[in-house]
Amino acid sequence: MIEEHRLRTLTRFEAPRRTEGPVEVTPHEHRRGSRCPAPSQLEADELGRLVNMLLEAYDGRRPAAQVRALVAPEVYAGLTGASRARPRHRTQTIHTCAPAPDVVEACARVEADGRSFALAARFTRTPTGWRCERFALLKPRQQANPNRRAA
């Protein structure tokens, strides 16, 4: 992946590199969220990275504590549930829509052990970044045992 570098103008609290005398630097006015606001849109590559991080936490390949700040408490509770060996899930395709400003919904096709599953997620923009409000890996229901008799 090739990174693009751009020149930017100095912000008012940055001193220029070459100076003849002492430079007075005014302190940065800190307001909540003003230092590093969340991007107004969730780019496709960033969304893919977030979904993959959540899948890694779901599979148990990443500690759920690493994604705690990125998810709502309900989602975190689902990721920290009973640990069991799960196959590695890999995203195949991701589709998005923005049903409201500061909201992105995603659906994805995920593969594990040669089977395909659906994934649904909802992300909301907060002052500190994007947060996953809903995360659901939709799997087919278990088939009833045909040899079992109804009682």
107-141 pLDDT, tens digit each: 999 998 888 999 999 999 998 889 999 999 887 77
Mean pLDDT of the chain: 77
pLDDT at position 120:
94
Question: For residue 123, how many other CB atoms are within 10 A of its CB?
Answer: 26
Report the sign of the C-alpha dihedral through residues 125, 131, 49, 96, in that order. negative
What are the C-alpha distances in Å from 25 to residues 30, 31, 93, 132? 15, 18, 48, 38
Ordered by where they begin, the domains of the chain are: 44-138 (3.10.450.50)
pLDDT at position 131:
94
pLDDT at position 148:
54
For the residues 9-17, what does the mean pLDDT come to? 58
User: Nearest 5°: CA angle at 60, between 54 and 63?
Assistant: 70
Burial class (CB in 10 A: 0-12, 13-18, 19+), 53: middle
Residue 13's pLDDT band, with cuts at 50, 70 and 90, is low
27-82 pLDDT, tens digit each: 444 344 444 555 567 788 888 999 999 999 988 888 989 999 999 999 999 888 76
Choice between 151 and 56, residue whose per-residue pLDDT is larger:
56
Length of the chain: 151
Q: What b/e sequence results for 65-89 when a residue is b if at least 16 CB atoms lie within 10 Å of its CB, and e otherwise?
A: eebeebbeeebbebbeeeeeeeeeb
What are the C-alpha distances in Å from 72 to residues 34, 54, 126? 22, 12, 11
Contact 90/112 with Cβ under 8 angstroms?
yes
Choice between 135 and 20, residue whose per-residue pLDDT is larger:
135
